[in-house]
Structure 1
């Protein structure tokens, strides 16, 4: 052990937030802590740079974990965890305001983009990455005869992010195909992407969505 407590992404994961894959165990140390490496140590050490210690309250919280993630892991990882915290009601409006004031101005756009509707990190990843192309998505939309879908773009393109284990088996695949058929009858196109595609082959996902938008709208989408 390092004489500290879980911090950053490790603390967020322990709190039940959806986090992107990360390396090592993130450990938070106060100024009086002592770093004590152990065999095969792959820990990432965080010192008391974040808001909880500034308030003389050396206790790991969801806002503190998010702040550490912002500085350590960057915008995308922060955004995914933020939306998970919002969806699970694990961060208050007051805490969001305090966190926003502490982070660089470049993170403001992420607070504006974030919603409470994202039911999985895959949805958050897609929302974030599509926003980089100027694409606005509507999330968790209910469509008659189809049901609730993950995203609708431009009022006609349904994009589904199928999580691990949620869409396996012949019965579930049949239900998915039936939903897609009902959507097509209403004039929607549907694109489905699984966990592996979204996490490990994003260029293929991106190309499919942008290509479908170009083909339907006849306009150029920034690449």
Structure 2
């Protein structure tokens, strides 16, 4: 099975399946096939970043490859492409590009348009700030993109400076923002539990110092009024049990972490905490 849902096809592959040069030209004109570069064809529903990677003569890599697997990455806007060592000067594309040239630890399928997940995780840890790299590791483990038994190999491959991340990895984190908040709470010296189930409330992301619930809200799961009603009723049930709830939104956790940390510190040092 291919690790990527949008494989590429060489002209020789299609010729073996009965395509002629004339039928290939017509399919490209009709939009039934895409030809990002000479002799290489893609399905018409292939995403633009994959098309651009093929046009450059490489494969999706690093955070670009992981984003297709729903693994958390901090900034998916840059196109990361792995290029073979003997590749010629790539054709230009209209976006920011980060090129990767290093040796891969896993050999991609010949028709795969992305590097293998293990290599993508290695690249993403090296490319991102330490906090984002840890969030990517947690996410990849939680989703099964990276296996626990691959961690030893992964940290052997990474530069030694990344070794500090190993003891911080926690596959229970269900989102990147959860990992980032967990690091904030550690830095504040707070005592907390993760993924706690509370009667009549359900499972919550964090319970801090036994009284503060912290839920990391993202647009994907809290956007509709129905979802917000559900959340507020959960908070109400938690309040009846003596809990206070703080819900930082994902974009603030990722892009304005100082504001979220200040809010956490205010709650943990404020009157509600001192009254306990």
Alpha-carbon distance in structure 2 between the residues aligned to 1:36 and 1:25: 14
Aligned residues: CA RMSD: 2.2
SS in 1 for 2:248: strand
Is 1:43 the counterpart of 2:97? The answer is yes
Aligned to 2:262: 207
Count of aligned residue pairs for this structure pair: 214
Is 1:195 the counterpart of 2:250? The answer is yes
Is 1:33 the counterpart of 2:51? The answer is no
Cα pair 2:141 2:148 within 8 Å, conserved = no
Q: 2:171 aligns with which of 96, 116, 119?
A: 116
Aligned to 2:145: 90
Cα pair 2:204 2:215 within 8 Å, conserved = yes
Is 1:107 the counterpart of 2:162? The answer is yes
Which digits, 9 at most, give the CA deviation of each residue in 1:69-92, with x for residues without a partner? 122223122212111111111212
TM-score, normalised to structure 2, is: 0.70
Compute the displacement of 1:217 (Å): 4.3
Aligned to 1:221: none
Aligned to 2:235: 180
Compute the displacement of 1:167 (Å): 1.9
Compute the displacement of 1:24 (Å): 2.0
Q: 2:68 aligns with which of 14, 27, 31?
A: 14
Compute the displacement of 1:179 (Å): 1.4
Compute the displacement of 1:10 (Å): 0.7
The within-5 A match list for 1:155-166 is: 155-166=210-221
Which of the two has higher C-alpha Rg? 2
SS in 2 for 1:32: coil
Aligned to 2:128: 73
Which digits, 9 at most, give the CA deviation of each residue in 1:184-205, with x for residues without a partner? 2222121012233223332221
Compute the displacement of 1:58 (Å): 5.8
Alpha-carbon distance in structure 2 between the residues aligned to 1:129 and 1:97: 26
TM-score, normalised to structure 1, is: 0.85
Gaps of 5+ in 1: 219-223
Alpha-carbon distance in structure 2 between the residues aligned to 1:41 and 1:180: 43
